[in-house]
Amino acid sequence: MSRGLGKGINAFFPANVVDDKDTVQHIKIKDLRPNPYQPRKKFDDDTINELKTSIEQYGIIQPLIVRKSIKGYDIVAGERRYRAAIEAKLNEVPAVVKDFTDKQMMEVALIENLQREDLNPIDEALAYKKLMDELDITQEELAKKLGKSRPHITNHIRLLQLSQPLQSLIADGKLSMGHGRALLGLKNKKKLPALVDKIIKEQMNVRQLEQLIQKLNQNAARETSKKDKVSLNPELKQKISLLRERFGTSVAIKPVKNKDKGKIEIEYYSEDDLNRLIEILEGQHQR
């Protein structure tokens, strides 16, 4: 059983949870229902049809993993095989019945899907985040368990900072993961809609997009600099210098014209950096 699911399963569960000695049963398709914790949002029709053709010729080689429920069986792993079996008009499928908890069902479904090459970047990112939240582990720990690099996990999760429409474009393959990562670096977010239209219309590659965003950010920086020269008096500039020295990071004071108010922006570059700044603000950090 472990061959189909990959080594990731055993990284999360004891080795005997998915065991080659498990008894394979034949369960009627009408008694099965999809895993309610299935992270995959879309099933490609072409892939299902290819699997259906394979099943018609060779049968289901890899049994499903299921859990007994009140009204039959919940599919823990193998929903694509289940869907393809329905298309192939099978009456029953081979399966191994396991006594999984709800949490284990979710984890197995996530891990199985993460080891599929056709999972889109957004679903992959959501699966990583779900595993981290449910297991209360860090990106570093998750990377080790799944046998992936830390940057691989980080780069996917960063995509979830994008707006929902942009995430949908990436999930649908209209934008690549590289496009998404580049768009995260655009400073003036108001330019995003027009920029995304330009990417799709002109079929821009990631390198071209990165170069364009660099130019847009440089223009934004110049515009900000001009505003600062007009609005910041020597006293405010001195206060900015003091704040930058105090916090050890970039600080900006943005006053409202003709008013005795404004806002202070303090940049941070990682979660650890943010925690450091919070400690300074709370008066707990020792310099």
Considering 79, 107, 112, 124, which one is annotated as catalytic? 79
Cβ-based burial of 48 (10 A; exposed 0-12, middle 13-18, buried ≥19):
middle
Any catalytic annotation for residue 140?
Answer: no
**In this structure, are residues 5 and 17 in contact, taking their beta carbons and an 8 Å threshold?**
no
**In this structure, are residues 31 and 73 in contact, taking their beta carbons and an 8 Å threshold?**
yes
> Which residues pair with residue 74 across a beta bridge?
33, 67
Nearest to 88 by CA among 111, 66, 59, 63: 59
**In this structure, are residues 40 and 119 in contact, taking their beta carbons and an 8 Å threshold?**
yes
Q: Which residues of 114-124 are buried (b: 16+ CB within 10 A; e: fewer)?
A: bbeeebbbbbb
Write out the catalytic residue numbers. 79
